[in-house]
Amino acid sequence: MKTVLKSITLAVAFLLTNVNLLASETEGKHQGNEEKFDAVEVIMHHISDAHEFHILDYTDDHGVEHPVAIPLPVILFTDGSLDVFMSSEFNHGHDTVNIGNHAYFLDHGHIAEVSGSNLHPIDFSITKNVFSMLLSVFLLVLIFVTVGRSYRKGSGAPTGLASFMEPLVLFVRDDIAVPNIGEKQANKFLPYLLTVFFFILMNNLLGLIPFFPGSANLTGNISFTITLAFITFLITNLNGNKDYWKHIFATPGVPLWLAPIMIPVELMGIFAKPIALLIRLFANITAGHIIILSLISLIFIFKTVMIAPVSVGFVLFMDVLELLVAALQAYIFTLLSALFIGMAVAEHEHH
């Protein structure tokens, strides 16, 4: 306890000195009049979804900045009509696009209608994240169809890609599904667990690639993790057996007068588990992207190339750590899903 207190005081002391440093830094910044590099804006732009795949900006001879980006299709559903065009028609947010009776413009990365009943149309666009997701689906189908075909051919030892994937599949079955759900029922939930494991793993790894096909912050997108956690929530509760519901509405061994407290708490528990699951994945991946981008931003904040070796060194370290995190988060998500499902379907021994 003493050591804990000691470390807390030390850390607080460090924190206070750092705050002082920060304060003096901001004072210094206000004096400079040149164009400031806004790290927060750059980072937020990179971790949020977009209608185009931004690659780089270059400044031409006249000092005008030109963004270079790969356009992606925009699919909008407005007032019963489907409007499809490429995002390049927005000219990086400078132009308004007229399609049929509707006019659209980019409002901070979101498509909005210039005039009309609904300001934000229903957006089915293939955005950066959707593109990344479709790519990972395509890669996963390719990998597993290849692996599946190699098993159909012969009954010998796995070869090629199969010999790489088989340990991973066996790992999910023997170390995640069977210990948590039980030998009897594990096979029923294995397809979901395997899908979610490889899907998250593939998307995490694609997000770590810093250039075109990758770099989308898909698993760090809250909508994506909400969807995955919602599927786990549905599977858990739809497969919950009598014991599972009994433990929620009439916890055994608890006196009846505690029920007004126990039932709301248990009901909150049903929702808290998937919420913790979705925030963990979202926050881990987003934090990873932010850290890497912040370290790169250091070069531009200090405006010197001298800091680059430090920056690149740290980024390399963080990237290696993120490789671990990418696998770890896929594992944790699958493990906790299996745990929740296991708790819902567990056969309790009655004495």
Partner 1 sequence: MGPLAAIGAGLAVIGAGIGIGKIGGSAMEGIARQPEATSKIQTAMIIAAALVEGVALFAVVVSLLVASN
| Backbone dihedral region for residue 284 (phi beyond 0: left; psi -120 to 50: alpha; all else: beta) | alpha
Residue selected from 13, 19, 82, 261 as contacting partner 1 according to rule CB under 8 A = 19
Q: Which is nearer to partner 1, 26 or 33 (CB)?
A: 26
Q: Which is nearer to partner 1, 282 or 340 (CB)?
A: 282
Mark 282-321 with x for binding to partner 1 (rule: CB under 8 A) and - for no binding. xxx-xx----------------------------------
**Cα distance between residue 151 and residue 145, in whole Å:** 10
Residues 6+ apart with CB under 8 A from 86: 71, 72, 73, 74
Q: Which residue type, as a one-letter code, is found at position 347?
A: E
Residue selected from 8, 55, 86, 261 as contacting partner 1 according to rule CB under 8 A = 8
Q: Establish if 23 lies at the interface with partner 1 (CB under 8 A).
A: yes
Q: Which of residues 318-337 bind partner 1 (CB under 8 A)?
A: 328-329, 332, 335
316 SS3 class: helix
Q: Establish if 55 lies at the interface with partner 1 (CB under 8 A).
A: no
Q: How far is the CB of 279 from partner 1 (least distance, A)?
A: 6
Q: How far is the CB of 235 from partner 1 (least distance, A)?
A: 21
Q: Establish if 4 lies at the interface with partner 1 (CB under 8 A).
A: yes
Query: What crossing angle do the helices spanning 259-302 and 242-249 adopt, rounded to 10°?
Result: 100
Handedness of CA 300, 303, 309, 313 (dihedral sign): negative
**Cα distance between residue 332 and residue 159, in whole Å:** 29
What phi and psi values does residue 78 have, to the nearest 5 degrees?
Answer: -125, 125
Q: Establish if 272 lies at the interface with partner 1 (CB under 8 A).
A: no
Q: How far is the CB of 23 from partner 1 (least distance, A)?
A: 8
DSSP letter string, 104-137: EEEETTEEEESSSS-SS-EE----HHHHHHHHHH
Q: Which of residues 143-182 bind partner 1 (CB under 8 A)?
A: 175
How many angstroms from the chain centroid is the CA of residue 317? 21
Residue selected from 93, 280, 298, 301 as contacting partner 1 according to rule CB under 8 A = 280
Q: Establish if 203 lies at the interface with partner 1 (CB under 8 A).
A: no
Q: How far is the CB of 296 from partner 1 (least distance, A)?
A: 18
* Contact footprint for partner 1 (CB under 8 A): 4, 7-8, 11-12, 15, 18-19, 22-23, 40, 44, 175, 276, 279-280, 282-284, 286-287, 328-329, 332, 335
